[in-house]
Amino acid sequence: MFPKSEIMVITAHPDDSEFGTAGSVAKWILEGKRVVYVICTSGDKGTDNPDIPSHQLAKIREKEQKDAAKVLGVSDVVFLGYPDQGLEDTPDFRKAIVRQIRTYKPEMVVTSDPYRRYIWHRDHRITGQVVLDAVYPYARDRLAYPDLIQEGLMPHKVKKILFFGTEDVNLRIDITETFHFKLEALRCHKSQIIQLGIPDLEKWLWQRCQKMAEGELFEVAEAFHQVDVAY
């Protein structure tokens, strides 16, 4: 049996959680909550370097994600192993997400906003949509996947979803005290940071999070769209 985790962060690629949620994750963990990561792909297409083949990049990025999760204190990191740029809204993918939700039984799920318009990585859009459907109704309904019940994975009701990368912000979380954790975790993704070509990552990240805190009394934030799941 897996210990229950209060929060599950489900992302398309390694590093998505560090860019979008790591300051909040660090804050939740400091508050005593268990957090688990579910990474849908291994990011095996995320490089411009012609000397790194996909299978090697996948191993690099999985290690980077594990290192970043260790910085934050994340309890478990699950890699589903789907191909980068290849996620589709399929019964197989949805069932894989339901399996993780029923395994860890989170009260809250955090994922990418599927309704962001125009320029948005397709894997992010598909992940958000599949997670939304997995939470409601599939993880909830006993007859959705009876074979999972035979495995001991009983239906579970998630109480809340947070979407990052959203254009419809209704929640800003103060990460002023945990920004340094976010920065350190993001720096673990060396294969990706080098491609950004940013001379001062700390300054760039601070300004990015500062913009998310506009209108609030705190300095830096992460922004989400929060949905309470009604049953």
Structural domains counted in the chain: 1
Q: What is the pLDDT of residues 30-52, one digit of tens each?
A: 999 999 999 999 999 998 889 89
User: 203: which residues sit within 8 A by CB, 6+ positions away?
Assistant: none
The answer to whether residue 101 sits within a structural domain is yes
Distances (CA, A) of 65 to 61, 135, 140: 6, 24, 29
**Residue 109, domain member (yes or no):** yes
Per-chain mean pLDDT for the chain: 96
178 has pLDDT over 80: yes
Give the predicted TM-score (pTM) of the model.
0.96
Question: Is residue 63 included in any domain, yes or no?
Answer: yes
Find the CATH number of the domain harbouring 206: 3.40.50.10320
For 127-140, the pLDDT digits (tens) are 999 999 999 999 99
Does 1 map to a domain? no
Does 72 reside within a domain? yes
Asked if residue 2 is part of any domain, the answer here is no
Assigned domain for 117 exists: yes
- Domain carrying residue 28: 7-228
Instruction: Please compute the mean of the pLDDT values over residues 24-35 and round it to a whole number.
Output: 97
